[in-house]
Structure 1
Amino acid sequence: FIKKYGLFLLVFSYVLGSITVPGIWYSTTVASPRGISALIHSFVWKWATEWVFFVIEVVGVYMIIYLVGKVDRATHLRISIIFGIASYGTMLIIIGILSFMMWPGKPEWFTEGGYLNGFYGANTFAQLAMRTAFMFTMTAVVGGVVAGAIKDAAFKKEITRKLALLGMVSTVAGGLLLQWYMATLPESAQVIAENRLPEWFAMSLVVTLGGIFAWFAATWLQPRLLTPSIAMGMTVAVLVFGLWPEEVARESLRKPYVAGQYVYSNQVIARDVPGLGIASEIPLIERQGFLPSQVFVPDNLREVTAHNALEAGRSLALTTCSNCHSLSPTGMRPLANYFGGNSDVAMVKTYLQGALGTGNTIYMPHIPLNDDEAYALARFIVSLNAPASPQPVVRTAAAAAPIKE
Structure 2
Amino acid sequence: MDYPVWHIPEFGGGLLIAIIAVVHVYVAHLAVGGGLFLVLTERKGLIEGSDAILAYCKKHTKFFLLLTMVFGSLTGVAIWFVIALTNPTATLTLIHTYGFAWATEWVFFLGEIVALLVYYYTFGKMNSRDHLTVGKLYFFFGFASLFMINAIIGSMLTPGDWLETQNFWDGFFNPSFWPALFFRALLGFSFAGLFGFFTASFSRDPEIRDGLARYNAMWTCIPLVLMVPTGWWYFSILPEGPQAMIMGWNAEIVPFTRALLASSPAILALALLMTLKLPPSVRRWVALILLILGQVQMGGFEWTREAARRPYVLAGHTYSNQIHPQDIERINEQGWLKIAKWVENREITDDNRLAAGRELFYGQCFSCHSVGGLSNDILPLTAKFSVFGLDAQLDGQGKIRNYMPPFAGTGEERLALASYIVEELHGGDKPFYGAAGEADVAGAVEAAKVPTPVDIPPFDKKKDEYVLLAWNNLGMHCISDSDRWWTLLPPANDIFAQLVRRGDVPELVTEGVTITYEVEEGFRNPSDHVEFWDFADKLFGATLQKNVGLAGKGLIGDMDLDAERRAFHADLIPVVPYPDGGGFNPYPLFTVKAVDSETGEVLATTRTVAPTTTEMGCRNCHGGEWRVAVVAGFTGETSRDVLAVHDKINKTDLLKLAEQGEPVLCQSCHADPVLGTEGNPEILNFPAALHGWHANYLTGREEDACAACHPNDPIGPTRCLRGIHDDIGVTCVNCHGTMEDHALSLLKKEDEAGKKGAARLMKNLAPRTVDSLAEVNGRTPWLQEPDCLNCHVGFEPPETMDGFNKWTADGSELFRNRRDDMDALMCEACHGSTHAIYPAREDSGYGANRDNIPPMQYMGEAKQMGKDGNCNVCHVNTEYTAADMAHHPGGFR
Instruction: Tell me whether 1:232 sits opposite 2:272 in the alignment.
Output: no
Instruction: Tell me whether 1:347 sits opposite 2:403 in the alignment.
Output: no
Query: How does 1:257-336 map onto structure 2 within 5 Å?
Result: 257-270=312-325, 280-298=326-344, 301-326=345-370, 328-336=371-379
Instruction: Tell me whether 1:172 sits opposite 2:216 in the alignment.
Output: no
Q: Which moved more, 1:84-93 or 1:72-81?
A: 72-81
Contact 2:320 2:367 in 1 (8 A): yes
Deviations 1:73-113 (A, max 9, x none): 11111111111011000011111111011121x32x22322
Deviation of 1:369 (Å): 2.4
Distance in 2 (CA, whole Å) between partners of 1:237 and 1:130 is 17
Deviation of 1:6 (Å): 1.3
Deviation of 1:219 (Å): 1.4
Query: How does 1:4-403 map onto structure 2 within 5 Å?
Result: 4-104=59-159, 106-107=160-161, 109-194=162-247, 195-197=249-251, 199=254, 201-222=256-277, 227-228=283-284, 230-239=286-295, 241-270=296-325, 280-298=326-344, 301-326=345-370, 328-343=371-386, 345-355=387-397, 359-383=399-423, 384-386=425-427
Contact 1:341 1:385 in 2 (8 A): no
Residue 215 of structure 1 aligns to a residue whose secondary structure is helix
Residues 45 and 223 of structure 1, relative CA distance in 2, 3 Å threshold: farther
Deviations 1:376-399 (A, max 9, x none): 0111121222279xxxxxxxxxxx
Contact 2:396 2:406 in 1 (8 A): no
Residues 28 and 10 of structure 1, relative CA distance in 2, 3 Å threshold: same
Contact 1:161 1:223 in 2 (8 A): no
Residues 70 and 131 of structure 1, relative CA distance in 2, 3 Å threshold: same
Contact 2:354 2:416 in 1 (8 A): yes
Contact 1:97 1:119 in 2 (8 A): yes
Distance in 1 (CA, whole Å) between partners of 2:393 and 2:258 is 33
Deviation of 1:32 (Å): 0.5
Residue 313 of structure 2 aligns to a residue whose secondary structure is strand
Q: What TM-score results when the alignment is normalised by the length of structure 2?
A: 0.40
Distance in 2 (CA, whole Å) between partners of 1:372 and 1:387 is 19
Deviation of 1:260 (Å): 4.1
Residues 128 and 83 of structure 1, relative CA distance in 2, 3 Å threshold: same
Instruction: State the one-letter code of the partner of 2:303.
Output: V
Percent identity among equivalent residues?
Answer: 27
Distance in 2 (CA, whole Å) between partners of 1:145 and 1:78 is 26
Contact 2:150 2:180 in 1 (8 A): yes
- Show the counterpart of 1:401: none
Distance in 1 (CA, whole Å) between partners of 2:259 and 2:290 is 16
- Show the counterpart of 2:656: none
Unaligned runs of 5+ in 2: 1-55, 430-703, 705-893
Residues 237 and 200 of structure 1, relative CA distance in 2, 3 Å threshold: closer
Contact 1:310 1:376 in 2 (8 A): yes
Deviation of 1:374 (Å): 1.3
Distance in 1 (CA, whole Å) between partners of 2:150 and 2:258 is 26
Contact 2:357 2:413 in 1 (8 A): yes
Distance in 1 (CA, whole Å) between partners of 2:166 and 2:257 is 36
Deviation of 1:267 (Å): 0.6
Deviation of 1:365 (Å): 1.3
Contact 2:105 2:148 in 1 (8 A): yes
Residues 252 and 296 of structure 1, relative CA distance in 2, 3 Å threshold: same
Instruction: State the one-letter code of the partner of 1:2.
Output: C
Distance in 2 (CA, whole Å) between partners of 1:378 and 1:178 is 41
Residues 223 and 50 of structure 1, relative CA distance in 2, 3 Å threshold: farther
Distance in 2 (CA, whole Å) between partners of 1:360 and 1:366 is 10
Instruction: State the one-letter code of the partner of 2:372.
Output: P
Larger radius of gyration: 2
Deviation of 1:234 (Å): 2.5
Deviation of 1:302 (Å): 1.2
Unaligned runs of 5+ in 1: 271-279, 389-404
**Which is richer in strand?**
2
**Which is richer in helix?**
1
Distance in 1 (CA, whole Å) between partners of 2:422 and 2:219 is 54
Residues 252 and 200 of structure 1, relative CA distance in 2, 3 Å threshold: closer
Deviation of 1:4 (Å): 1.3
Contact 1:39 1:259 in 2 (8 A): no
Residues 355 and 70 of structure 1, relative CA distance in 2, 3 Å threshold: same
Does 1 or 2 have the higher relative contact order (CA < 8 Å, sep 6+)?
1
Q: Which moved more, 1:175-184 or 1:32-41?
A: 175-184
Distance in 1 (CA, whole Å) between partners of 2:257 and 2:313 is 23
Residues 355 and 260 of structure 1, relative CA distance in 2, 3 Å threshold: closer
Contact 2:422 2:428 in 1 (8 A): no
Instruction: State the one-letter code of the partner of 1:74.
Output: R
Distance in 1 (CA, whole Å) between partners of 2:364 and 2:259 is 32
Contact 2:242 2:309 in 1 (8 A): yes
Deviations 1:24-73 (A, max 9, x none): 21111000101111111111010011011101100111111111111121
Distance in 2 (CA, whole Å) between partners of 1:353 and 1:197 is 21
Residues 200 and 367 of structure 1, relative CA distance in 2, 3 Å threshold: closer
Instruction: State the one-letter code of the partner of 2:290.
Output: M
Contact 1:313 1:373 in 2 (8 A): yes
Residue 152 of structure 2 aligns to a residue whose secondary structure is helix
Residue 117 of structure 1 aligns to a residue whose secondary structure is helix
Deviations 1:339-385 (A, max 9, x none): 34222x223223322325xx444112133421210110111121222
Deviations 1:130-157 (A, max 9, x none): 1111111100000112211222333332
Contact 1:148 1:228 in 2 (8 A): yes
Residue 176 of structure 2 aligns to a residue whose secondary structure is helix
Residues 202 and 374 of structure 1, relative CA distance in 2, 3 Å threshold: closer
Q: Which moved more, 1:67-76 or 1:346-355?
A: 346-355
- Show the counterpart of 1:394: none
Deviation of 1:235 (Å): 1.3
Residues 260 and 244 of structure 1, relative CA distance in 2, 3 Å threshold: same
> What's the Cα RMSD here?
2.1
Distance in 2 (CA, whole Å) between partners of 1:76 and 1:224 is 35
Residue 258 of structure 1 aligns to a residue whose secondary structure is strand
Deviations 1:301-356 (A, max 9, x none): 11111111111111111111111111x2333112233334222x223223322325
Contact 1:149 1:227 in 2 (8 A): no
Residues 123 and 223 of structure 1, relative CA distance in 2, 3 Å threshold: farther
Residue 43 of structure 1 aligns to a residue whose secondary structure is helix
Instruction: State the one-letter code of the partner of 1:143.
Output: G
Residue 190 of structure 1 aligns to a residue whose secondary structure is helix
Deviation of 1:227 (Å): 4.1
